[in-house]
């Protein structure tokens, strides 16, 4: 029996869509291009097949997502995952929080930070730098955003440079987008 | 600085912030292209461009981004759907009420959304592709307004 996952976890659940995914065998040429399906790559998640209903935004989504999370320079990949996680906690997107907390743990070898964030969100007792990152990314993710000049100055005092701050803004904001799709178009269930 | 995010954040050419942003120029270019795909797609489906502009304006206003909200509202022009940009307007038939309700829910309180909200859209006659188009529009604008808000804080404190 599968059940809906209600609590934050680093065990990545299965995502069960509320909307019928595009049937790959009936996909239009435009959808196939947006899905980046090739004869050698026909593995596409249900999530991306749901998004293929809007092929024009999907075309840009994947390169944009990859650039924000993985492009070289600026903030470390692990800290960008904290930006993603902060937004996912605000929006209570259990699936995104699982994927990105697991990636953070894998990159930083730091499961304790994730446990603290799951228990206390932006109030988690973290080191100075991570605490400033978590606090700012959380407040930017709220609607309306509550991040202010004091939070921004806090990032600089915690040692972030301007390029790192821009990457944090981008990763938290990106998950303001991703959470609003993942959490509203389907639900996380046990595998 | 031809992209909307840089303009709305008030980034001055040749400033320190402009140089930082330029290093992520590909991201700002892709953000602009996604906005065009969400607001003025080649295939709008059941969401005409004036409706998209009006909904984008609602999302920006719910996030306190007044200049962006006014900009998006202006794109709706004098189309009858332009009134949807007014947060006090809640729709005048089952479909418009359902679309507006879902837009505001996903923008302002996404954690409260459930499968029942998608079912409500279906019941109101919104097709599955249009449900995804609506969700992408609201979700994308929610991203874009946060990038603007964050950049403005950088600029004001540099």
Band of residue B1 on the pLDDT scale cut at 50, 70, 90: low
The confidence score (pLDDT) of residue A191 equals 83
Tell me the nearest-neighbour CA distance from B93 into chain A, angstroms: 23
Dihedral through CA A63, CA A64, CA A65, CA A71, nearest 10? 80
**What residue segments make up the domains of chain A, in order of their start?**
3-71, 77-177
**Cross-chain Cβ contact B146/A173 below 8 Å:** yes
The confidence score (pLDDT) of residue A37 equals 76
Query: Residues with Cβ < 8 Å from A87, sequence gap 6 or more?
Result: A93, A96, A137, A138, A140, A141, A172, A173, A174, A175, A176, A179
**Cross-chain Cβ contact B109/A93 below 8 Å:** no
Query: Is residue B29 less than 8 Å (CB to CB) from chain A?
Result: no
pLDDT at B37 over 60: yes
Band of residue B2 on the pLDDT scale cut at 50, 70, 90: confident
Write the CATH number of the domain with boundaries A77-177: 1.20.1290.10
Looking at A162-171, B1-10, B31-40, which range is the least confident one?
Answer: B1-10
**What residue segments make up the domains of chain B, in order of their start?**
3-157
Give the A window 13-42 contacts with B, CB below 8 Å: 18-20
The predicted model scores a pTM of 0.98
Give the A window 50-69 contacts with B, CB below 8 Å: 50-51, 53-54, 56-57, 59-61, 63-64, 67-68
The confidence score (pLDDT) of residue A6 equals 95
Q: Which residues of B touch A151 (CB under 8 A)?
A: 153
Q: What is the ipTM of this complex?
A: 0.98
The confidence score (pLDDT) of residue A1 equals 78
- In the A/B pair of chains, how many CB contacts fall below 8 A? 160
The confidence score (pLDDT) of residue A14 equals 97
Residues of chain A predicted below pLDDT 70: none
pLDDT 10s digits, B106-139 = 999 999 999 999 999 999 999 999 999 999 999 9
Homologous superfamily (CATH) of B3-157 is AhpD-like (1.20.1290.10)
In chain A, the residue whose alpha carbon lies closest to the alpha carbon of B35 is: A57
């Amino acid at each position: 029996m599968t059940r809906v996952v209600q609590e934050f976890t680093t065990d990545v659940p299965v995502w069960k869509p509320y909307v019928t995914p595009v049937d790959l065998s009936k996909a239009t040429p435009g959808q196939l291009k947006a899905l980046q399906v090739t004869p050698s790559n026909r593995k596409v998640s249900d999530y991306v097949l749901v998004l293929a209903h809007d092929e024009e935004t999907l075309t840009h989504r994947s390169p944009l997502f990859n650039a924000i999370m993985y492009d070289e320079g600026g903030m470390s990949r692990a800290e960008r995952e904290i930006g993603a996680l902060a937004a996912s906690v605000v929006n209570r997107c259990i699936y995104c929080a699982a994927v990105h907390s697991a990636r953070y743990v894998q990159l930083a070898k730091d499961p304790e930070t994730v446990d603290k964030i799951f228990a206390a969100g932006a109030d988690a007792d973290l080191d100075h730098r991570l605490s400033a990152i978590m606090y700012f990314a959380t407040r930017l993710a709220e609607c309306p955003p509550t991040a202010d000049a004091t939070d921004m100055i806090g990032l600089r005092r915690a040692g972030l440079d301007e390029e790192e701050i821009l990457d944090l803004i981008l990763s938290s904001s990106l998950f303001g987008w991703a959470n609003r799709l993942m959490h509203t178009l389907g639900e996380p269930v046990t595998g | 600085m031809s992209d909307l995010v840089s303009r709305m954040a008030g980034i001055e050419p040749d400033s320190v912030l402009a140089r930082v942003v330029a290093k992520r120029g590909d991201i700002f270019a892709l953000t602009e292209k996604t906005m065009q795909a969400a607001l003025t797609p080649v295939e709008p489906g059941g969401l005409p461009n004036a409706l998209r502009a009006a909904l984008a304006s609602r999302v920006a206003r719910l996030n306190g981004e007044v200049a962006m909200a006014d900009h998006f509202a202006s794109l709706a022009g004098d189309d009858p759907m332009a009134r949807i940009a007014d947060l006090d307007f809640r729709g005048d038939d089952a479909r418009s009420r359902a679309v507006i309700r879902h837009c505001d829910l996903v923008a302002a309180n996404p954690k409260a959304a459930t499968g029942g909200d998608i079912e409500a859209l279906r019941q109101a006659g919104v097709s599955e592709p249009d449900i995804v188009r609506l969700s992408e529009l609201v979700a994308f604008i929610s991203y874009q307004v946060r990038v603007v808000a964050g950049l403005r804080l950088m600029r004001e404190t540099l």
